[in-house]
Amino acid sequence: MPLKISRILHAGYVFECEGTAIAFDPIVENPFSRNCHAFPSVRFDLDWVRQLRWDAVFISHFHDDHCSLDSLDVLDRATPIYLYCVFDELFAMIRALGFSRVERLQVDVPVQVGAIEVIPRRALDNDVDSLFQVRAAGLNVLNVVDSWIGPDTLAQLAAFAPWDMVLWPFQTMREIAVIAPSQAQQGPALLPEPLPDDWAPQLRALAPRYIVPSSCQFVQEDWSWYNHAMFPITYRQFAQEIGAALPGAHIFRLDPSTAVLLDAQGMAPAAPLPWVIPVGPQDVDFDYRPDALAPATSDIARRFAPLNAQELALVLDFCQHGLLQRYRDMELPDDSYFQQPRLWRLALYGHDGAATVLHYRTHGDLIDLVPATDEAPGWSTELPLMKCYSALVLGESLTSMYMRINDGVFDAATQAELMDADIVDDPLIRCLFNDAIGAYQAAQLKRLLAR
């Protein structure tokens, strides 16, 4: 019997063999994670999804583009859910949604589901990610999901070479560059951006027969400059460079809904998933433009709906009070830029493009809101008001917030210090996200249970 492998979306797959069907990281929303739009575009027949009876669902990690309660909500509650996560909160949320069997995955501990065996393997950041070895019908498939492979895990996986198929996360994300474009653009812009140095050697060690460029199958809103700045690698470039490095491997795209049958002799097309419905052109590729100028945050803010009075009051109360307490409660790293006294400027842009500007003095773990001043800041942060609200109330993640760090002109001494600073040391980033494990799912659960 062959193994059928079908693509759902992003890192989502369905594996079927000898009457067993399991899903990995199933996302059945478009957009997902609030403003990640499927690329190529699809829609979902959720009535059909509600009739599915998968034998198990495996979730590689807790990030909201892999573990979404809105997607799990349409599944039968008897479906066993296997989650790799070090945080108990996520398991409790999934159980609160009504799932009766929610299991914690352990590295190197196999899970047998009918004819399919799944073995979680250690990712480079094993506090967050996992990757999956899938064994069925005498075949070995490696689903790398979003993770990076460390040397110990690579040696472990290379012992199984040659692999029959590797689902490889071919896209790198330039999150820091889009958050701080002024700082990023001070270096040389390379087009195309080279693939990471370790990809080809790692894939040679795995020696797969088939390679699927996987994950990061999304773009932002149609107007978003992120669509030309976030993802620097195209499908075409990946196929050319990895194809040259591994001439014996067959590299192919597996777009949403499409499926293949894999056996020891080869691979053949299979019937697509009927509940994943392609919309518009499917043979699309990323359009990376490293020289594209980032639009002003005021212009981006005009794209979003205005906050009502209650929502605005919530954001301002956080920025004037709650943020201060959160900052003081956190322990600043010893090498932080903010261990020295700094003036921090925070600008929040409304739907009309106007900014509400707040100034803070920080020194180590101390912070105070101070009156407006013409003094040049040592750090600046700006973002749309709507996105600050979304982060606070809806658990929206940093990569879709259009936050902008240090996007201005600083004196030479400050600029020199900023070049060595860590962007995620930003006070707003720390106060919104440092302790916000499962915030997105918590907001989903609150809404779903309130129905």
CATH code of the region 3-278: 3.60.15.10
| CA separation for the pair 254, 211 (Å, rounded) | 10
For position 186, what pLDDT does the model report? 52
Domain boundaries, the chain: 3-278, 297-449
123-161 confidence digits (pLDDT tens)? 999 999 999 999 999 999 999 999 999 999 999 999 999
| Residue 352 CB neighbour total at 10 angstroms | 10
**Mean pLDDT for each 10-residue chunk of the chain (451 residues)?**
96 98 98 93 98 98 95 98 96 98 98 98 94 98 96 98 97 88 63 87 98 94 94 95 97 97 97 98 93 92 97 98 96 94 98 97 97 95 97 91 92 91 94 86 95 88
DSSP assignment of 249-318 equals SEE----TT-EEEE-SS-EEEEPPPTTEEE-S---------TTPPPPPHHHHHTTSPPP-HHHHHHHHHI
Classify domain 297-449 by CATH architecture: 2-Layer Sandwich (3.30)
Q: Check if 3-278 and 297-449 are the same fold.
A: no
- Give the closest residue to 404 by CA, choosing from 425, 376, 423, 377: 423
Report the predicted TM-score, pTM, of the whole model to 2 decimal places.
0.94
| CA separation for the pair 76, 299 (Å, rounded) | 43
In three state form, how does the secondary structure of 84-149 look? Answer: CCCCHHHHHHHHHCCCCCEEECCCCCCEEECCEEEEEEECCCCCCCEEEEEEECCEEEEECCCCCC
